[in-house]
Structure 1
Amino acid sequence: MSLSPPLFIIGIDVGSTTTDCALINYSAGNIVEHSIKTQTSPDITSGIMKAIDQVMMMKNDQQVSGQRKGKILCVIIGTTHFVNAILSFSPDLEKVAVCRLGSSANNSLPPCESFPERLKELVLGDYYKIDGGYQVDGREILPVNQDQVQQMCQSLKEKNLKNIVISGIFSPINSEQEKQVADWIREFFNHDSELKITCSNEISEMGFMQRENASILNACLKGVSRSICYAFQEAIRSKYACPFFLTQNDGTLIPPNLVTEFPIFTIQSGPTNSMKGAAFLSGVENAIVVDIGGLTTDVGVLVNGFPRLSNNNVSIGNVPTNFRVPDVYSVAMGGGSIVSFNENEENSSIQIGPKSVGFNIFTESLSYGGNTVTTTDAAVALGLLKNCEWGASPELLSQTTQRLGKRAPQIVDKIHSIVEEAIDHVKIASTNVPVLLVGGGSSLIDENRKFEGVSKIIKPKHYQCANAVGAALCDVSGRVDTVINISASGGNREKVIETVKKEATEKAIKNGAKPESVEIVDFECIPLAYIPGDSCRFLCKAVGNLDFNSISNNLEFLIEKPLTSSKREERKEQFSNEKTNQSIVNIKSYQPNISVSDKDNRKEWILTKTDIDCIEIGSGVVSSGGGGSPKQSAVLARSLLSHGKEIKIISPESIAEDAFVLPVAMMGAPLVIQEKSIVEEFLPAIESMSNFTKKKIEAIFCIEIGGSNSITPLLIAATSGLPVVDCDGMGRAYPELDMVTHFIDGCSPVPTMLLDDMNNQVLITSVNPRNPCKGLESILRPIAVQMGSMSGIILNPISKKELMQSTVHNSYSGVWSIGKGILEAHSQSLDPIQTILNSNNGDLFFSGKISDVNRKTTSGFNIGKCVISGLGKDQGKICIVEFQNEFLRAVIVKDYDPSLETIPQESIQSLAIVPNIISIVDSQTGLAIQTEELRYGFRISVLVLGGTPKFHTPKGLKTVGPTAFGYPEITDLSFIKTNEFKSIF
């Protein structure tokens, strides 16, 4: 009785310089038999086949070698080909037509506005806007219109555009409209095989601009993906009777027929493959992975065998998207890094990187007879890299050792210091953890040395090709991202959670996972503020092992030969002659553009894109975690400037004595603001308010300078021509209207108007005089919910006298200065945290890593607490930051008991509280983190900044002091700081 030949899986990772290949014995329980590195070929395919052939020849079993055509179960490939096509502006990228479904929302933000200009010109074919879209609660904004789709298709036909993105507002909540429009388009084109349709709901998560960006990138890559997948298919089928797959960004696999539909899913798979491979090779599921390559060292964290994900959305080719990828910290140090010495100091210093010899290491390094000192030379000199691994002549190795002398151990000391610092950066606890060392550059590390905070260093067998091993691990995933009204679903939270998890599990099984192997590996429930019914956003991912029985004889994965593009040479010529005039701003010397108006003889600050950058960053810092992220609004502002619009800011003093100024903002849920932007709709509303009040509006001003509402008046200014006054009504962000400074001083809150993207306007002309501001808030919130949980808001115009007496002055100047300081610190490698503190009468309250975040929605507010474990000088301490949309109180506690609802007064060692601005920022970049962005493992700093003195009056403290937010026991406020923004005029 003859035994069946063993079945093998081949994993491949194609890099820019090397192609790594691993042979996995599936029959023997996924044992790694062999691994090899080869040089990446220009055509990629021949390099892959060479790697497969070599790893197969390494098998000593002649019987297996003679029957190799039947023994490979599948080939799984990770490749950088698609991301390289975007980064290099490949002429193979296809033109894309974008069809948006919605109301007038987002009209001011056309497709590709956040793309690099050259990439936008390369891929954007045309743009169509038709009726459609959904509200956050699933209601239709407008029904889709087949006649409009027919007209669009006729235009597409005339322009020969057959690559189409369908992008609907809140399509991840309800995909029906996108599916319907796709069906109508297919019918119009008689199901033409050349027709390519990308529905945004299938590509990405919440966040309209980022989802649409990802969908456009996906669409433009479809031609490239078909060509490369067909080349892979034909090459593999010519020698091996097996299917092949590619790896996705999350480390799971995807068949080639789906890659041609969703190439964007494979674009960031490299780091995930390395981390999965490290976990598998070592058998350790909770550890830090250090992957040292030729150019960089990537450090990430494994949690239960899966990479910890970053909350920061990834940019692909400088295009913002909202994919979540492994949380990897990278430093410019690898096997090819150049080592330089500073001989001018008494004690010479060593600099490693960021420059590298790259693939020229075999000619330029000392060990190969060159004159450049590299990190690898030091490893060779100290015997960390053996001659059999390195391949250089013994004579050159001896010369390298003599030439470096005592510097070799100094270089290795520096390497260890860099790696140790990177490990500390990603750690989430003070306890010692194991480190898995992988990658071709791992020989730079002396495994016998002690690393601070590391329990042991593990360099597993086949460590050089951990990325290829990770690619070969056959996992399949299913994902869910949805918003659910728990109250409307029966009110049983646990049942809703189980439903979401079941849906993710069923998707994984549908994608080919063995049902018994599926597990939930990532789950989040995020309460949503200002949305009724206990609504939450659920994100869930399930992963399981591939069921090979479902693919063994499956021909569905085969793809047809692609048509060649006739425009390749034409497009090459077009862009080879393109002139680029992009200027790089020197942020240190940059000054705002302030000129004197001929009309009014007053100073006007004419904003540039750099000013928007500064305001965006600074407004996040003073937002105290609330107000929503200003990122998308800032993209829109930069877009308006690019299209020739002008945004002017004027000082409060320059307003005419008889003039009136209009307070404006957005009101509603931050999540909705990420899906719908309202700009032009303000123009008729401003006219309506002016007509009703019979007051001529000379300018507008910001209700709250913290968060996304700092940008809202700038957008209105760009479209209306009205200037923005350098002031606001809070000096930060607060959750309710009665907390506006001029309302605290007694200004009337009515008339007030709400407006939406359907040009609805609701004017409130009178409220209960006993408690007018609270009464107005209670009236407006339900209306805002009906308008889609977000609306524009215009408050009662105020006079110059009221503006001068009752608003926070120089708000834009202040946040601009904060943002500029942070950018300047980045450019000069200075500490951005200290920059913030110096300009805002602030203190560094605490530094650490987030160890827990608890949230719930109460009365429409996002309420919770963030637990932070101390690092550095705060090692061993615990800080609790409590929030209600904004951060309210921060305390350093002793003997913290997480089971207690409230913190006992006797355990509080240090305290910060409103009306001070409590800001949580990234410890490295100084960039603000909003309450909805807080995630486990973030390394953050808690800052306490001085707020406006206007809140330090009896009325102010009654409205926004500790008692107003549920802390009546805090009566001594002598420690509260104040700060006044300084004008740049």
Structure 2
Amino acid sequence: MRGGYEFDGREIAALDEAGLVEIAAEINAKGIRAAAISSVFSPINRDMEERARDILAQHCPDVPVVMSSEIGRIGLLERESAAIMNASLLGLSSRTVDAFERALGDAGLTCPFYVTQNDGTLMAADMVRRFPVLTFASGPTNSMRGAAFLTGVKEAIVVDIGGTTSDVGSLHHGFPRQASTVVDIGGVRTNFRMPDVFSIGLGGGTKVTGDAAAPVVGPQSVGYRLTSEARVFGGDVLTTTDIAVAAGMADIGDASKVADLEPAMIDAARERIGEMLEMAVERSRISPDPIPVIAVGGGSILVPDKIGELEVLRPENFAVANAVGAAIAQISGEVDRIYALEGKSREVCLAEAEEEARTNALNAGATEETLTVIEREDVPLAYLPGNATRIHLKVVGDMGGLDA
């Protein structure tokens, strides 16, 4: 329908409010349980999305409404998909938060609680209800934050290996590097914030087949059945864990049950595992600098001492890096929008973006004295008039009530 803005916030066409009333009636008639609103360049000017939300709230008071400007970045179709995806998950997120609240209440706890989100920081329970998509891939990001904390290293590649997969991503200033392009989720192109994490089918339960001449590692896995199906636990499936035990890389289960493995098969499987990890690590590198690789997760016993020319760090308590990352997580505030520099300097626009990001972080529960800028980027957009530039800025701070 009619509406939307230019890149600098100028109106393209007036909002079709009568059409929105008709849509509200259709929502009521069909029993639709959630709605998503998307407008051209709404991250620059969200007035029309807010007006559309208010109209729907007036005529459909029980239907939650998601505005794309609160989730996605510049790019209409991908932002629209992100808003629709978020709206479709509102019911599930509400039930999940309610379950957390009941579990805490049953344990005698009445304090507020937070949930980790996919940039390595925290979000309050009410925010989880509103923006469930921001929890996507929070598991790997927790492990990456935990890896940074356990080693003290802020610039590294993190390999998090579980039972079925290996998640590989890059740390920058101790936080997961965010994907800068469109993110494909279940075949749907979206553009909301997501970590740049690459997954491969390699874990502690991954099956090993073939022979020494041509070993095949994965992608099939026994998964959670590792402790019953792997050979070292009395099963009959050869897994990567069996290879690690046979090679003396781990002391798990009964090593005598893999004593019959041929040394050539052990070496060939280890070499193939190393090749898979090296490919994933190289994909996550953004410079030729020899930064370290941090191996975490229970399956990181599979990681050799070096991957290519990169040193591998395996910190103490590596198996629980995920829990550590969640425990030390901070609160964040973020801005990603296009600014027109006509009549303004670059420094003024950056200051405005930082102030907005700081306000967002404070509203989310951060303490002002602990706020720190961890990402600041501005990219001139030559294809747009008005000397336009895209500014992305993020600040983080400690949760209110905690010591800095």
TM-score bucket (shorter structure): over 0.9
Which of 452, 456, 467 is matched with 2:308 structurally?
A: 452
Rate the CA distance shift 1:534–1:371 in 2: closer, same or farther, 3 A: same
Q: Give the whole-Å Cα distance in 2 for the aligned partners of 1:440 and 1:226.
A: 31
Q: Give the whole-Å Cα distance in 1 for the aligned partners of 2:312 and 2:27.
A: 59
**Hey, what does 2:92 align to over in structure 1?**
224
**Hey, what does 2:119 align to over in structure 1?**
250
Q: Give the whole-Å Cα distance in 2 for the aligned partners of 1:373 and 1:328.
A: 28
**Does structure 1 residue 211 correspond to structure 2 residue 95?**
no
Tell me by how many angstroms 1:221 deviates: 0.7
Task: State the Cα deviation string for residues 391-428 of structure 1 (Å, max 9, x = none).
Answer: x3x4xx21312234442233223323332343333333
Which of 325, 346, 356 is matched with 1:503 structurally?
A: 356
Q: Give the whole-Å Cα distance in 2 for the aligned partners of 1:362 and 1:350.
A: 23
Q: Is the 8 A contact 1:279 1:305 kept in 2?
A: yes
SS of the residue corresponding to residue 291 of structure 1 reads strand
SS of the residue corresponding to residue 508 of structure 1 reads helix
Q: Is the 8 A contact 2:373 2:393 kept in 1?
A: yes
**Hey, what does 1:398 align to over in structure 2?**
256
Match runs of 1:627-638 below 5 Å: none
**Hey, what does 1:331 align to over in structure 2?**
200
**Hey, what does 1:361 align to over in structure 2?**
226
**Hey, what does 2:291 align to over in structure 1?**
433
Match runs of 1:2-41 below 5 Å: none
Greater share of helix residues, 1 or 2?
2
SS of the residue corresponding to residue 443 of structure 1 reads helix
- Larger displacement relative to structure 2 (268-277 or 327-336): 327-336
SS of the residue corresponding to residue 73 of structure 2 reads coil
Q: Give the whole-Å Cα distance in 2 for the aligned partners of 1:340 and 1:154.
A: 59
**Does structure 1 residue 290 correspond to structure 2 residue 159?**
yes
Q: Give the whole-Å Cα distance in 1 for the aligned partners of 2:40 and 2:94.
A: 29
Task: State the Cα deviation string for residues 93-141 of structure 1 (Å, max 9, x = none).
Answer: xxxxxxxxxxxxxxxxxxxxxxxxxxxxxxxxxxxx3x32111221112
**Does structure 1 residue 468 correspond to structure 2 residue 333?**
no
Match runs of 1:500-579 below 5 Å: 500-548=353-401
Question: Taking every aligned residue pair, what percent have the same amino acid on both sides?
Answer: 39
**Hey, what does 2:342 align to over in structure 1?**
487
**Letter matched to residue 169 of structure 2:** G
Q: Give the whole-Å Cα distance in 1 for the aligned partners of 2:309 and 2:126.
A: 46
**Letter matched to residue 27 of structure 2:** L
Rate the CA distance shift 1:301–1:239 in 2: closer, same or farther, 3 A: same
Task: State the Cα deviation string for residues 623-650 of structure 1 (Å, max 9, x = none).
Answer: xxxxxxxxxxxxxxxxxxxxxxxxxxxx
Tell me by how many angstroms 1:182 deviates: 1.4
Q: Give the whole-Å Cα distance in 1 for the aligned partners of 2:286 and 2:402.
A: 40
Q: Give the whole-Å Cα distance in 2 for the aligned partners of 1:341 and 1:549.
A: 54
Task: State the Cα deviation string for residues 139-165 of structure 1 (Å, max 9, x = none).
Answer: 112222433332332232222334221
Tell me by how many angstroms 1:464 deviates: 0.9
Q: Which runs of 4+ in 1 moved over 3 A?
A: 403-406, 428-431
SS of the residue corresponding to residue 403 of structure 1 reads coil
Match runs of 1:227-242 below 5 Å: 227-241=95-109, 242=111
Which of 277, 302, 307 is matched with 2:176 structurally?
A: 307
Match runs of 1:671-686 below 5 Å: none
Q: Is the 8 A contact 2:134 2:193 kept in 1?
A: no
Task: State the Cα deviation string for residues 755-792 of structure 1 (Å, max 9, x = none).
Answer: xxxxxxxxxxxxxxxxxxxxxxxxxxxxxxxxxxxxxx
**Hey, what does 1:320 align to over in structure 2?**
189
**Hey, what does 1:385 align to over in structure 2?**
250
Question: Structure 2, unaligned stretches of length 5 or more?
Answer: none
SS of the residue corresponding to residue 11 of structure 2 reads coil
**Hey, what does 2:47 align to over in structure 1?**
176
**Hey, what does 2:38 align to over in structure 1?**
167
Rate the CA distance shift 1:517–1:384 in 2: closer, same or farther, 3 A: same
Q: Give the whole-Å Cα distance in 2 for the aligned partners of 1:280 and 1:315.
A: 30
Tell me by how many angstroms 1:443 deviates: 1.2
Rate the CA distance shift 1:349–1:157 in 2: closer, same or farther, 3 A: closer
Q: Give the whole-Å Cα distance in 2 for the aligned partners of 1:158 and 1:407.
A: 65
Q: Which has the larger radius of gyration?
A: 1
Q: Is the 8 A contact 1:380 1:401 kept in 2?
A: no
Q: Give the whole-Å Cα distance in 1 for the aligned partners of 2:279 and 2:57.
A: 55
**Does structure 1 residue 273 correspond to structure 2 residue 142?**
yes
Match runs of 1:454-853 below 5 Å: 454=310, 456-489=311-344, 492-548=345-401
Q: Give the whole-Å Cα distance in 2 for the aligned partners of 1:361 and 1:381.
A: 16
Rate the CA distance shift 1:404–1:374 in 2: closer, same or farther, 3 A: farther
Q: Give the whole-Å Cα distance in 1 for the aligned partners of 2:64 and 2:357.
A: 27
Rate the CA distance shift 1:143–1:250 in 2: closer, same or farther, 3 A: same
Tell me by how many angstroms 1:436 deviates: 1.1
Q: Is the 8 A contact 1:482 1:539 kept in 2?
A: yes
**Hey, what does 1:201 align to over in structure 2?**
69
Task: State the Cα deviation string for residues 170-199 of structure 1 (Å, max 9, x = none).
Answer: 11110111111212222234xx3x321111
Rate the CA distance shift 1:139–1:334 in 2: closer, same or farther, 3 A: same
TM-score w.r.t. length of structure 2: 0.93
Q: Is the 8 A contact 1:166 1:199 kept in 2?
A: yes
**Hey, what does 1:263 align to over in structure 2?**
132
**Hey, what does 1:959 align to over in structure 2?**
none
Task: State the Cα deviation string for residues 907-946 of structure 1 (Å, max 9, x = none).
Answer: xxxxxxxxxxxxxxxxxxxxxxxxxxxxxxxxxxxxxxxx
Q: Is the 8 A contact 2:206 2:218 kept in 1?
A: yes
Q: Give the whole-Å Cα distance in 2 for the aligned partners of 1:506 and 1:419.
A: 41
SS of the residue corresponding to residue 272 of structure 1 reads helix
Q: Give the whole-Å Cα distance in 1 for the aligned partners of 2:282 and 2:390.
A: 32
Q: Is the 8 A contact 1:431 1:453 kept in 2?
A: no
Tell me by how many angstroms 1:218 deviates: 0.8
**Does structure 1 residue 139 correspond to structure 2 residue 10?**
yes
Q: Is the 8 A contact 2:43 2:69 kept in 1?
A: yes
Q: Is the 8 A contact 1:286 1:303 kept in 2?
A: yes
Task: State the Cα deviation string for residues 959-981 of structure 1 (Å, max 9, x = none).
Answer: xxxxxxxxxxxxxxxxxxxxxxx
Q: Give the whole-Å Cα distance in 2 for the aligned partners of 1:151 and 1:325.
A: 35
SS of the residue corresponding to residue 347 of structure 2 reads helix
Question: Structure 1, unaligned stretches of length 5 or more?
Answer: 1-128, 551-985
Q: Give the whole-Å Cα distance in 1 for the aligned partners of 2:340 and 2:248.
A: 63
SS of the residue corresponding to residue 250 of structure 1 reads coil
TM-score w.r.t. length of structure 1: 0.39
**Hey, what does 1:370 align to over in structure 2?**
235
Q: Give the whole-Å Cα distance in 2 for the aligned partners of 1:500 and 1:530.
A: 22
Q: Give the whole-Å Cα distance in 2 for the aligned partners of 1:302 and 1:296.
A: 19
**Letter matched to residue 333 of structure 1:** L
Tell me by how many angstroms 1:446 deviates: 4.3
Tell me by how many angstroms 1:373 deviates: 1.4
**Letter matched to residue 424 of structure 1:** E
Task: State the Cα deviation string for residues 357-388 of structure 1 (Å, max 9, x = none).
Answer: 222222322212222211110111123221xx
Q: Give the whole-Å Cα distance in 2 for the aligned partners of 1:209 and 1:495.
A: 30
